[in-house]
Amino acid sequence: MAPDSGFCKHQLGKPKSAVRNGLVKIVLFLPLTLIFLSTSVEARTKPKKDLWQVFPAGHSHKGRSIPQQLEGALSFAPSPDASRLSPPGPTWSNKIHLSIPDHSAIQRYIRFYREEGRKTFARSFERSWPYLPLMTEILNSHGVPGELIAVAMIESSFKPGASYRGAVGFWQFMAPTARYMGLRVDQWVDERNDPIKSTDAAARYLKLLHEQFGSWPLALAAYNAGRGTVSNALKSRNAKTFWQIGKGGALPKITRQYVPKVLATASILRDLERHGFERPERFPVYDVVPVAVETPLRLDQVARWLEMPLKELKALNPALRLDRLPPDCGVELHLPSSVRGRFELAYNRFVRE
């Protein structure tokens, strides 16, 4: 939970807890993407730059440009056609080093995830598949190790709509922190549920914490317990590392467990096969385009235009709290690229009328 909470229900559990049965079936969909097109809807719609700016010029993944990588990794629905599947991935960047010590607490959680918590870990990882390529690109673009996607696995187990005690989304941001990091949270929109924008905010926040405390374990502790709690713990113990303040009562118990959990998860993600987990050969292809609409529209209205289920349209736009765009139209509408042309025609008729 980010950041100032004394307690958090971490989805991947702890060694002494029993693994719950009957987990929610995996739903492979991705409601958002960054594939911005130059085509605009006449008079009232326009393309949105949004998060392209987080990617440095010339940045690439496995020799493919960012747009190609994203287009290969994301699409509207899984396709049985092998030509519609993205390349294997992700591979973690070696440019941004995450040091994972051989600490007994980390090893204890690694054993737990390999044994008692194996099914929970595997299902959480499977739920993450559609998001991993793009999310790791966003983390790396901000100088954050891609393996820290483990934070989202621990926080929410990649369950869509995850919410606990005021914390929301894959990265479990509290509303004040989300707003501080530039996310919109109001009666109309909650961008903590936007997996792309929330990942960008989480990456920037983790980087900020790393710059303040000088190590990823301390940054993770601050992500969970808050910067003030970690600063006070370091001062009270005259310490410089998480492992020094991780003993005794300098930090809340949940935080003392949280950091080893994240690092254990990151260690497994670094070498899935060695730990007995399967890496997907291909990621399902998803194909969604965002369109910034300057007129408030109801989602049921758009669903009728596109002849698609309203439930499906809502799933593509999880940041919208209500069944319509906000009056200020300050967010984009996410649509399958295959129906963009139909939307433009219907929208233009709507504007003229």
Which domain does 325 fall in, by range? 45-83+285-352
Q: What's the total number of domains in the chain?
A: 2
Query: Cα angle vertex 160, ends 155, 166, to 5°?
Result: 55
Q: Are residues 305 and 225 in the same domain?
A: no
Q: Are residues 188 and 242 in the same domain?
A: yes
- Whether omega before 280 lies within 30 degrees of 0, making that bond cis, reads no
CATH number for the domain that contains residue 180 = 1.10.530.10
3-class DSSP state for residue 60?
A: strand
In a domain, 65, yes or no: yes
Q: Are residues 174 and 291 in the same domain?
A: no
DSSP code at position 23? P
In a domain, 347, yes or no: yes
Backbone angles phi, psi at 179, to 5 degrees: -65, -40
> Cα–Cα distance between 33 and 131 in angstroms, integer?
10
Q: What pLDDT is recorded for position 353?
A: 80
Q: What pLDDT is recorded for position 29?
A: 34
Q: What pLDDT is recorded for position 158?
A: 95
> Cα–Cα distance between 327 and 8 in angstroms, integer?
34
In a domain, 331, yes or no: yes
In a domain, 229, yes or no: yes
Q: Are residues 114 and 230 in the same domain?
A: yes
Q: What pLDDT is recorded for position 187?
A: 95
Q: What pLDDT is recorded for position 297?
A: 94
Spans of the chain below 70 pLDDT: 1-95, 283-286
Q: Could you write out the three-class secondary structure of 311-336? A: HHHHHHCCCECCCECCCCCCCEEEEE
Q: What pLDDT is recorded for position 73?
A: 31
Q: Are residues 155 and 197 in the same domain?
A: yes
